[in-house]
Copies of this chain bind each other. A is one copy, B any other.
């Protein structure tokens, strides 16, 4: 690949071990290519310099933050410069009057929440990786999380962006004022574009009033169908839960194997349900408990205080490391209409049985967005292939049910082969044309999202 300009020398990672850590994200099969560079930008000027160089030399650019992505959008590629922006981690402004925060893309999600909380405000989106994922990455994937059932996704909170385009042009999209309709709003194009259009260098996020500390109900079920019926009932509550998470038996076993998070043994499914409604958390969780009982829950436990509530949620937050510890896996991220959730769950079980792979079924039930995992043993011949086939089977089922191949992780590398199936060839061509408008040389994360791998 072309030599990076000397002006960037202090930003280039040279230590091979350190460099290797910047080659991959958390996606399955991520591996360092033979030839790539890593630039750790310290400011806007560094990003501009990389984007100018990349355009001039036709060098692919892989924008990158905390490398917590699960779809492979941030993995180094052959001959590319990995442009890491985690050092752009300043919260520039929290404006309680306007209800916005302005932050660098490297600000950790939890840190933005904390900055907002200090002003009595709330930045809702909360991927399970909240403690270490960055706002820039959240914007790149239009990240969801646990609170979406009440609060929506990242896109619902992004009011404007500063973006560096290929060639180094710095643009601003959207607005900072409460209203503003002068010209096209390009913000929504960049949210969820997975680094294929430009590099986000500043985010203006909408903040909302702070909720109360959440209270929690935990319900267990003897079968997954009753649990999904309870989800459907809770979705229609006037005061919708602020969290509505599903875990199946295999998931609970994996979490309890790490530490005792208080889940009872031997149930087929658990639902964790929260309310954060100011002044009404205790009332809400009592009502949710009644709904869960009506839907056929085996046991229902209501947390009496915020501490106990936090302890129960800690179990949910431990889910990803627990499943990681369990073994190699393909992680699903399908999302279906809530009314089709039971069908999705049954299909997951059938697929796992047919393909003879182990499955865990968990995720954001209240959104119809599950993360079933298909496990495999690399030492067993055909095991990985069967898990991969199961992964593909479930994607097809999600589309048949009127859902999507990815609810919040992104298409990245792992799901690009199915994008045409969801969008159709005409729409895929249109989206490639939109990309070409911003990235005529095709240097931004080439081969990802829009193209089959």
Contact = CB atoms under 8 A, between A and B. Distances in A.
Interface of A: 96-99, 120, 141-142, 144, 148-149, 153, 155-156, 169, 171-172, 175-189, 191-193, 209-210, 232, 235-236, 238-240, 278-280, 335-339, 364, 366-369, 402-411, 415, 419, 422-423, 426-428, 430-431, 433-435, 437, 449-450
Contacts of A426: 169, 171
A178 B335 CA distance: 8
A93 to B, nearest CB: 12
A179 B450 contact: no
Contacts of A434: 184, 186, 434, 437
Contact of A411 (B171, B175, B182, B409): B182
Nearest to A411: B182
A181 B177 contact: no
Contacts of A182: 404-406, 411, 415, 419, 422-423
A369 B235 CA distance: 35
Nearest to A438: B430
A423 B183 contact: yes
8 contacts: A177-B367, A179-B404, A182-B422, A183-B411, A183-B423, A185-B188, A187-B188, A209-B238
Most chain B C-beta atoms within 10 Å of own C-beta, residue among A99, A183, A192: A183
B335 A180 contact: yes
A193 B185 CA distance: 8
B171 A427 contact: yes
A239 to B, nearest CB: 7
A177 B336 contact: yes
Given A178-B369, A403-B177, A406-B180, A96 B185 contact: no
A52 to B, nearest CB: 16
Nearest to A211: B238
Contacts of A144: 179
Contacts of A176: 337, 402
Contact of A239 (B156, B278, B337, B437): B278
Contact of A430 (B153, B171, B210): B171
A366 B98 CA distance: 10
Nearest to A194: B181
Nearest to A170: B426
Contacts of A232: 97
B184 A407 contact: no
Given A97-B232, A120-B238, A171-B427, A189 B181 contact: no
Nearest to A169: B426
Contact of A368 (B120, B177, B433): B177
Contacts of A209: 238-240
Contacts of A97: 232, 235-236, 337-339
Contacts of A178: 148-149, 335, 338, 366-369, 407
A374 B153 CA distance: 41
